[in-house]
Amino acid sequence: MNSLTILGLETSCDETAAAVVRGTPPGPGVILSSIVFSQTEAHAPYGGVVPEIASRAHLEILDGLIERALDDANVSLHAVDAIAATAGPGLIGGVMVGLTTAKALALCMGKPLIAVNHLAGHALTARMTDGVGFPFLLLLVSGGHCQLLAVAGPEDYRLYGTTMDDAVGEAFDKTAKILGLPYPGGPNVEIHAARGNSRAYPLPRPLLGRPGMDFSFSGLKTAVRQLAQTQVNVDDACASFQAAAIDILKDRTAHALTRFRQDFPQAPHPMLVVAGGVAANAAIGAALRQLAESHDFDIRVPPPKYCTDNAAMIAWAGLERFALGKRDPLDFSPRARWPLDASGDDGHSGKRQQGA
């Protein structure tokens, strides 16, 4: 197969991004350009993402980012093979901006449109960066999602476990807000946790030791809120919270590692891939690396800049679909929810509708 060149657009939450990626499955691909504009400053006064502000910013910024991405890649629109854009899940206004822009470019340039599931972008990132082969076990951890899935192909996902309430990234963000830390919360919790005593406060580990692969973080978040009503050391509180979250992730993932071996006994070197914004947390990455090695699994965690939302992962996921002969009609509708697996359970926090 000849190398494919894909322009990718990402606007599902509060990052506006455009990228050009070249390669063939299974990768690794060549990231010719990757431009990400973060709206953190615009949302910081509100302590979280405001959908209307995010959508307006995408609308104002995206065209310029596309020009920069093409210039940085030294590629013209005429030279790309297809245009890929996040079509969901996410904040629907933002998704509409990126997808509509991709449709307009595809129509004007006579290029195929590839509608990409944002979660597939995260799921397939390790193929773009490391050329990971199928099948692999995926732990997808972000602000809006927390799931364990077996990935057997670009569009072949088997859900093992999902969050029953809050996603782990949401728990990090809410903990930061409870403790008075600035937005974005997750990275600030990690910074304070590195300075604290993880055994200072005994916090709960919901579902720890129980059968199954589902997650629950609501009780942990509530415990932090109750703790904050007393006089606490913020560093110690962050460290105690992060340690509890890591214990939960390790426990549920350990069950999935066992299940994956049962489902794919032919896999000679089973692989755990950790993706999503929370995968950029160094302490979580180190703990999961140790867990994988103890189960004789290889592990891949993409570089931090490709764990958080970016358009290179969308371009690569589009490349994977295009290589299968897939393309989408110009009337493809944006989706606030879009499960990866065929069962229809999207592993989504019930309180957020974003794909970050």
Say if residue 266 is in the same domain as residue 139. Answer: yes
183 with 298, same domain? yes
Q: Report whether the peptide linkage leading into residue 265 is cis, meaning its omega lies within 30 degrees of zero.
A: no
In a domain, residue 217? The reply is yes
Is residue 155 located within the same domain as residue 287? yes
Mean pLDDT score across all residues of the chain: 92
CATH classification at residue 86: 3.30.420.40
Encode 133-154: b = buried (16+ Cβ within 10 Å), e = exposed. Answer: ebbbbbbbbbbbbbbbbbbeeb
162: β partners = 147
The pLDDT value given to residue 354? 33
Is 353 inside any structural domain? no
H-assigned helices in 131-233: 168-178, 185-193, 218-228
**Per-residue confidence band for 353, with pLDDT thresholds at 50, 70 and 90:** very low
* Rounded average pLDDT over 301-307: 94
3-state secondary structure of 338: coil
Write the CA distances from 149 to 136, 161, 276, integer angstroms. Answer: 9, 7, 13
The total number of structural domains in the chain stands at 2
pLDDT band at 345 (very low <50, low <70, confident <90, very high): very low
Kindly indicate the confidence band of residue 142, based on its pLDDT and cuts at 50, 70 and 90. Answer: confident
Identify the CA nearest to 163 among candidates 122, 124, 221.
221
Task: Specify whether 92 is located in the same domain as 197.
Answer: no
Neighbours of 40 (CB within 10 A): 13
Mean pLDDT, residues 3-9: 98
Q: Are residues 179 and 31 in the same domain?
A: no
**Residue 204 and residue 174 in one domain:** yes
Structural domain harbouring 311? 4-127+305-323
Which pLDDT score, from 0 to 100, does residue 343 have?
59
Tell me, yes or no, whether 192 lies in a domain: yes
- Assess if residue 18 is contained within a domain: yes
- The answer, yes or no, to whether residue 344 has pLDDT greater than 70, is no
pLDDT-derived band at 41, boundaries 50, 70, 90: confident
pLDDT band of residue 38 (cuts 50, 70, 90) is confident
Per-residue model confidence (pLDDT) at position 43? 76
The pLDDT of residue 257 is above 60: yes
Predicted pLDDT of residue 125: 97
Residues 206 and 97 grouped into a single domain: no
Judgement on whether residues 230 and 278 belong to the same structural domain of the protein:
yes
Percent of the chain with pLDDT over 90: 83
**For position 207, what pLDDT does the model report?**
94
Regarding whether 310 and 282 lie in a shared domain, the answer is: no
Q: How confident is the model at residue 138 (pLDDT cuts 50, 70, 90)?
A: very high
Task: Tell me if 345 is assigned to some domain.
Answer: no
> What's the CA angle centered on 256, arms 251 and 261, to 5 degrees?
135
